[in-house]
Structure 1
Amino acid sequence: MKKLITLLFICLLMFSSNAQETAEKPKDYSSKVETLDSTIKTLYAVISGEKGEARDWKLFKYLFKPDAKLIPSGKDKEGVYKIRYMKPDDYIKSSGKWLVENGFFEKEIHRKVDVFGNITQVFSTYESFKSETDKAPFMRGINSIQLLNDGKRWWIINIYWTQETKENPIPNEYLPKQ
């Protein structure tokens, strides 16, 4: 009986060791958050893709400090401005399927950066498209992105955004120079 138990234990150890070797190693995303620019570019790239194209949600979550928020704002049916607080996982649950089913590209067209110590505020003007080949955006707006540089990497703390409307056009100072 002892020999059988020992044999089973050895087989279990061999199987466990083999499974660990073949398990996928976690991706190293550190280069994506080395600079402010790489962090912002990665944010836009990771949510963008053609219809049917999966997004790298592990990379998306890697950009954010724990307890970070995504905060969309806009008017409700009564014309009152509302906001919604989401964690990165909430955003994935509420928008992830739609992004893949419809195709979505968000492109930064202008950036204004303010820095004080380790905190950075970015006003990032964007245009949204259903496909990378689209000529005209179906939506524009501004992402107000707050970031932390902890001396090792950049972290997104919050993204607070609103879409452009006829009543609320994007001011010229947040558009590309013509």
Structure 2
Amino acid sequence: MKTKLVLGSWLAIVICLSAHSQTLDQKYAKDVTSITAIVDAYYDVISGASTDHWQFEKDRYLHSATALITRLDDNGKADVHTLEAEYVPLLLLPKEDFYETELKRKVSQYGNMAQVWSAYEVRTNPEIASNSRGLNSIQLHFENGRWFIDSWTTQMETKSNTIVADFLKTE
């Protein structure tokens, strides 16, 4: 009898928690309804104060299961890895204030595919200007009523490689 009561209590707790917990689709659906929404969410998940929690769950939701990240160095050498590998170094160090702010966006969409060029700047204090800027190339696809990030490539601007300044001059 006691065992049935304990099992019944556990079952009731599980059912209540399941009924009250949100699915990922419920929590993040608004972030993937449009290209604008998903790119805004893309910047939102990485930005925040050192006291903010990492948004791994939301970031995973934005990306397709096979998404790849490519970082290009000053010489164009590519470091390609998965979203999970992107977070490994972040977890090994104390979290710091980090704000990635979009400066300009250009979108090309054909059918269920989209390419987004997005210039950004990096700040450690949202109130202080930054001279650290980069350019993202973000590839997306639309499936099952929502957008997914399939890959992104990024390169930082340098004195010899003025990609952001050049991009900001374009229409």
Where has structure 1 moved over 3 Å in runs of 4 or more?
Answer: none
Q: Distance in 1 between matches of 2:147 and 2:28?
A: 12
Aligned match of 2:21: 25
In the alignment, is residue 126 of structure 1 matched against residue 120 of structure 2?
Answer: yes
SS of corresponding position for 2:10? helix
Pairwise mapping of residues 141-160 of structure 1 onto structure 2 (< 5 A)? Answer: 141-150=134-143, 152-160=145-153
Aligned match of 1:162: 155
Q: Which amino acid letter does the alignment assign opposite residue 112 of structure 1?
A: K
SS of corresponding position for 1:123? strand
Pairwise mapping of residues 1-178 of structure 1 onto structure 2 (< 5 A)? Answer: 6-22=1-17, 25-26=21-22, 27=24, 28-75=27-74, 80-96=75-91, 98=93, 101-134=95-128, 136-150=129-143, 152-170=145-163, 172=165, 174-175=167-168
- Provide structure 1 residue ranges, at least 5 long, that are not aligned to the other structure: 1-5
Deviation track 1:107-153 (CA, whole Å, cap 9, x = no partner) reads: 1111111122211111100011012122x214101000000012501
Asked if structure 2 preserves the Cα contact closer than 8 Å seen for 1:111 and 1:174, the reply is: no
How far 1:172 sits from its partner (Å)? 4.6
SS of corresponding position for 1:81? coil
Distance 1:60 1:161, change over 3 A: same
Question: Looking at CA atoms only, which structure, 1 or 2, has the larger radius of gyration?
Answer: 1
Identity value in percent:
25
Asked if structure 2 preserves the Cα contact closer than 8 Å seen for 1:51 and 1:131, the reply is: no
Asked if structure 2 preserves the Cα contact closer than 8 Å seen for 1:48 and 1:55, the reply is: no
SS of corresponding position for 1:159? strand
Deviation track 1:82-102 (CA, whole Å, cap 9, x = no partner) reads: 22222221112223565x622
Q: Distance in 1 between matches of 2:6 and 2:55?
A: 36
Alignment root-mean-square deviation, CA: 2.1
**TM-score w.r.t. structure 2 length?**
0.86
Q: Distance in 2 between matches of 1:126 and 1:46?
A: 14
Q: Which amino acid letter does the alignment assign opposite residue 165 of structure 1?
A: T
**TM-score w.r.t. structure 1 length?**
0.83
How far 1:50 sits from its partner (Å)? 1.5
Asked if structure 1 preserves the Cα contact closer than 8 Å seen for 2:134 and 2:164, the reply is: no
Q: Distance in 2 between matches of 1:62 and 1:97?
A: 23
Q: Distance in 2 between matches of 1:46 and 1:86?
A: 18
Distance 1:38 1:96, change over 3 A: farther
